[in-house]
């Protein structure tokens, strides 16, 4: 990977960080409602893994699915930032036409198959996407991002078993940030190394890596993605990471120490990559400052502006999208 690709990835991550910070601000201004879960700190995982997958190429690409902390996965998969922001604003131009909100970003034109609020629910959906890919022999794979806490759901065990028995091309990416809301993994999970819960139990290859250094993430993700695609088998990859902000906006983080936060922030994914690029001479500090300013302006002048100016859904359309709005009368009737 050459320097200009690395610079592009750095720009991606700075954009994602700013996007999430801007969501925070808009939430405080009450422009965004509901639950809002921000991804800051974990950027290297989604960015690095999806950089190694076939995304951003529309409907021919790999399928991506995740939980409620979904903005960045959708962005990297190729969903337009302005549509995601418009969704958070509840607007008709939003990626889910204002019906979903932060936890339910969907963009089928980018093969981003949704964010889901029920912890553990995406596991089987991902395996189903993989089953569809395998059945249609398209050489696409499904990539499922979920947290460490999700692995204590039954769907984790049920789905890993079936994905293994049926040889489904699905990559499970575990973003282990050490917490499920305010419960530390030591207090909820008997085997804290998640990748160890998979290999002998379900006969699925698995591994654990640093999730803060995007170079490591990419190197390991590439192997995993290639394995899933070439072998047509599942793989489980665990990345050790950290979320900087509270679980959602209502979280005062009383369950962890400032020292712990500071330790992780020393290994900030944006800092690791930018330091490396500066050290190699590919970038100067001033270039990064310039990048930050450009991103700031792009988010204000394009993303936020679009969300602000877009119309809300028409209340007359309340009943749209419940069932097929144009059903074929041959199958649906009514009976005559």
Ligand X SMILES: Cc1ncc(C[n+]2csc(CCOP(=O)(O)OP(=O)(O)O)c2C)c(N)n1
Map residues 295-324 to x or -, x wherever contact with ligand X holds by CB under 6 A. ------------------------------
Q: Which residues contact 15 (CB under 8 A, 6 or more apart)?
A: 75, 81, 295, 298, 299
116 binds another protein (CB under 8 A): yes
Give the helix ranges, DSSP H, for the chain: 3-28, 43-52, 71-77, 81-88, 122-136, 154-165, 185-188, 199-202, 214-231, 258-266, 269-279, 285-298, 305-309, 329-332
Partner touching 129 among another protein, Mg ion, ligand X, none, CB below 5 to 8 Å by kind? another protein
Per CB under 8 A, does 186 bind another protein? no
Please answer whether residues 311 and 44 qualify as being in contact, where contact means their C-beta atoms are separated by less than 8 angstroms. Answer: no
Non-local CB neighbours of 261 within 8 Å, separated by 6+ positions = 242, 244, 253
Query: Does 149 contact ligand X by CB under 6 A?
Result: yes
Residue 119 interacts with which of ligand X, Mg ion, another protein, none, CB < 5 to 8 Å by class: ligand X
- C-alpha span between 286 and 292 (Å, rounded): 10
Residue 294 to residue 290: CA distance in whole angstroms:
6
Taking CB under 8 A as the criterion, which residues in 56-95 touch another protein? 63, 65, 94-95
Cα 18 to Cα 291: distance, rounded to the nearest angstrom = 11
Of 147, 169, 211, 234, the one binding Mg ion by CB under 5 A? 147
- The single residue among 26, 65, 144, 180 that binds ligand X, judged by CB under 6 A, is 180
Residue 295 interacts, among ligand X, Mg ion, another protein, none and using kind-specific CB cut-offs from 5 to 8 Å, with none
| 3-state SS string for 122-163 | HHHHHHHHHHHHHHHCCCCCEEEEEECHHHHCHHHHHHHHHH
* Number of neighbours of residue 203 by Cβ within 10 angstroms: 13
Structural tokens at position 74: 């959708």
Instruction: Confirm or reject binding of residue 150 to ligand X (CB under 6 A).
Output: yes
Considering the complex, state which of residue 48 and residue 122 has its C-beta at the smaller distance from another protein: 122
Contact between 165 and another protein (CB under 8 A)? yes
Contact 161, 135 (CB under 8 A): no
Of 108-147, which residues contact ligand X (CB under 6 A)?
117-119, 146-147
Q: How far is the CB of 55 from Mg ion (least distance, A)?
A: 23
Q: How far is CA 264 from the centre of its chain?
A: 20
- Residue 137 contacts another protein per CB under 8 A: no
Which of ligand X, another protein, Mg ion, none does residue 247 bind (CB under 5 to 8 Å by kind)? ligand X
C-alpha 37/C-alpha 71 separation (Å) is 9
Say whether residue 177 binds ligand X (CB under 6 A): yes
Residue 150 interacts with, from ligand X, another protein, Mg ion, none (CB under 5-8 Å by kind)? ligand X
Binding site for another protein (CB under 8 A): 63, 65, 94-100, 104, 106-108, 113-114, 116-118, 121, 123-133, 135-136, 142, 154-155, 158-159, 161-162, 165-166, 320-325, 327-336
Binding site for Mg ion (CB under 5 A): 147-149, 177, 179
């Amino acid at each position: 990977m050459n320097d200009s690709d690395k610079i592009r990835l750095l720009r991606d991550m700075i954009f994602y960080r700013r996007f999430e910070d801007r969501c925070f601000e808009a939430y405080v201004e009450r422009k965004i409602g509901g639950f809002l879960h921000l991804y800051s700190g974990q950027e290297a995982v989604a960015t690095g893994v999806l950089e190694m997958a076939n995304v951003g190429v529309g409907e021919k690409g790999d399928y991506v699915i995740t939980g409620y902390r979904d903005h960045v996965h959708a962005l990297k998969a190729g969903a337009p930032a302005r549509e995601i922001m418009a969704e958070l604003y509840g607007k008709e131009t939003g990626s889910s036409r204002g019906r979903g909100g932060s936890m339910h970003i969907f963009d089928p034109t980018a093969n981003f198959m949704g964010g889901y609020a029920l912890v553990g629910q995406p596991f089987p959906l991902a395996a189903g996407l993989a089953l569809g890919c395998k059945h249609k022999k398209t050489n696409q794979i499904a990539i499922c991002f979920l947290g460490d806490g999700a692995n204590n759901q039954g769907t984790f065990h049920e789905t890993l078993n079936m994905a293994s028995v049926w040889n489904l091309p699905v990559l499970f990416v575990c973003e282990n940030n050490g917490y499920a809301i305010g419960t530390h993994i030591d207090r909820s999970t008997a085997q804290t190394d998640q990748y160890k819960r998979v290999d002998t139990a379900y006969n699925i290859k698995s591994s654990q890596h640093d999730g803060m250094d995007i170079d490591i993430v990419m190197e390991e993700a590439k192997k995993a993605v290639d394995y899933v695609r070439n072998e047509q088998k599942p793989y489980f990859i665990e990345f050790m990471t950290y979320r900087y902000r509270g679980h959602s906006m209502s979280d005062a983080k009383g369950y962890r120490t400032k020292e712990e936060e500071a330790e992780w922030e020393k290994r900030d994914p944006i800092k690791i990559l930018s330091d490396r690029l500066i050290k190699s001479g590919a970038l100067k500090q001033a270039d990064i400052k310039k990048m930050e300013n450009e991103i700031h302006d792009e988010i204000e002048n394009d993303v936020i502006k679009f969300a602000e100016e877009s119309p809300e859904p028409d209340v007359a359309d309340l009943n749209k999208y419940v069932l097929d709005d144009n059903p074929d009368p041959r199958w649906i009737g009514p009976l005559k």
